[in-house]
Amino acid sequence: MNKGIAKANGEYINFMNSGDVYASERILQDVFTNNHGGDVLYGDWIKVYSTKEERMSFPVDKLHTEFTRRNICQQAMFYKTYLLMQKGFDLSISVWADYARNVELALSGIQYEYLPYVICKYDMNGISASESTLEERKLDRKRIDLLYPQWTLPLLAELDEYRNRRCVQYTLEIVDGKSKFLSFMTKVYLKLMHILCVLIN
């Protein structure tokens, strides 16, 4: 990727891997017919499995919180060239170098702009999505957490608000007053289960 960045001379850079394709022949024309203010443009993408296809989206209004769970498909993104000229991808992060760079850019305050288009079709049989790289992806995630610990703050804020959910309130209303120990253990259990659900999603 960094070798391609060094040779780029356009306003935006997009990366398209072997096996991945643009969603249509017109998509670049559709995207760049209008001027855009975003430093990073991105749209929807379609995951292509052997037996089905699945459209994916990434909410720009919850950008930081969403990044604690998952990445934007790189093939559905257009980076301002100057951003990647300033600093490319950390290739010591073997599979998720784009994830790390996206987190870094989001934390720096650059503008992500959502485009209402399906940009690409993403081959789910590729290396970055395969079971063979699962352990590498886990190590990459740990490295990203260590490099950018502040990116988890929106996740922590969300956990602090978990009691606002009606199902949690209802459960606590049932056990409150029954037993202090039961109430305490229920609160601990609910919070742990919420943390687990957030992390696996």
> Number of folded domains in the chain?
2
145 and 165 housed in the same domain: no
The answer to whether residue 63 is domain-embedded is: yes
In a domain, 156, yes or no: no
Q: Which of 79, 115, 82 is nearest to 97 (CA)?
A: 79
Contact 144, 103 (CB under 8 A): yes
Residue 155 domain-assigned (yes or no): no
pLDDT interval class at 147 (50, 70, 90)? confident
> CA-to-CA distance for 97 and 92, rounded, in angstroms?
8
Note the pLDDT tens digit of each residue in 105-121.
988 889 999 999 999 99
Q: Does residue 95 or residue 194 have the better pLDDT? A: 95
Neighbouring C-beta atoms of residue 167, cutoff 10 Å: 8
The better pLDDT of the pair 148, 89 is held by 89
- Dihedral in degrees, nearest 10, Cα atoms 52, 30, 128, 20: 60
Residues 156, 199 contacting (CB under 8 angstroms): no
Q: Are residues 174 and 142 in the same domain?
A: no
Q: Establish if 166 belongs to a structural domain.
A: yes
Instruction: Give the tens place of pLDDT for each residue, 149-200.
Output: 766 665 555 554 544 555 555 555 555 666 666 666 666 766 676 666 555 5
**Do 120 and 176 share a domain, yes or no?**
no
**Residue 130: pLDDT band by 50, 70, 90 thresholds?**
low
Q: Is 48 found in the same domain as 12?
A: yes
pLDDT score recorded for residue 89: 95
* pLDDT for the residue 125: 79
User: Strand, coil or helix: what is 130?
Assistant: coil
User: pLDDT, tens digit, for every residue of 34-51?
Assistant: 888 899 999 999 999 989
Domain range for residue 165? 161-200
Look over the chain and give the mean of its residue pLDDT values, rounded to a whole number: 82
**Coil, helix or strand for 153?**
helix
How large is the C-alpha radius of gyration of the chain? 20
Helix ranges, 15-148 (H): 27-32, 63-67, 81-86, 97-108, 134-147
